[in-house]
Amino acid sequence: MLIRKLFKFENAHIVRDCTTQRCSENIHGHSYKIEVLLESNYLDNGQMVYDFGLTKRSIKELIDSFDHAITLWSKDDRKYVEAMKTYSNRWVELPVSPSAEQFSRVIYLMVERILACTGMQNGEKEVKLDSIIVHETETGYAQGFREDAHSELMGEIKLEDIVFSSQVKSEWSDPQLWDKLLNHSLIENPKKV
């Protein structure tokens, strides 16, 4: 069975080297909609694949890291990257350009790691991430699957190369969340939310 949870955020970026000049040469923003599709052949004690309330914890917090932030590409011009970090408290730096396609890959890897580190408490079994859909506009989206997220042909993404600003991390319920995920530390789901 497949379930879907929708998240939203507002974000600014530049997508260097794309065909559209407005996108490749100007900071601009989008109202993103992110669909997280989870699957399992089993249902938990509440007869659910995965309680939607649980997605409002680590998954929502990491996706919300992009809200009212600027997303930067680590290989962009250093002066630009440093200026954006100087004048914005909320930023995320990625090892890939922040296109919708790359956002789907990055978010896939983040959610995949969350699920791998999560200690289930309510009989959830074999909950897997099917895909991530990133709606950049009302008419355009990118959908990333496991093979896309791990594809070296599309550019290698190491979670260790994703950097969140101190402001973003301070707003998480656990400011050490990213470090715990990078270290594969166990994150226990609560028995009740």
Instruction: Tell me the catalytic residues.
Output: 23, 68, 136
What type of residue is 48? Answer: M
Spell 68-101 as b/e; 16+ CB within 10 A means b: ebbbbbeebeeeebeebeeeeebbbbbbbbbbbb
Tokens of 53: 């309330």
- Rounded CA-CA distance 165/157 in Å is 18
What type of residue is 109? Answer: L
Q: Are 57 and 2 in contact (CB under 8 A)?
A: no
Q: Which secondary structure element, helix H or strand E, spans residue 7, and what is its range?
A: strand 2-13
Angle at CA of residue 17, ends 67 and 130, nearest 5°: 50
- DSSP label at residue 41: S
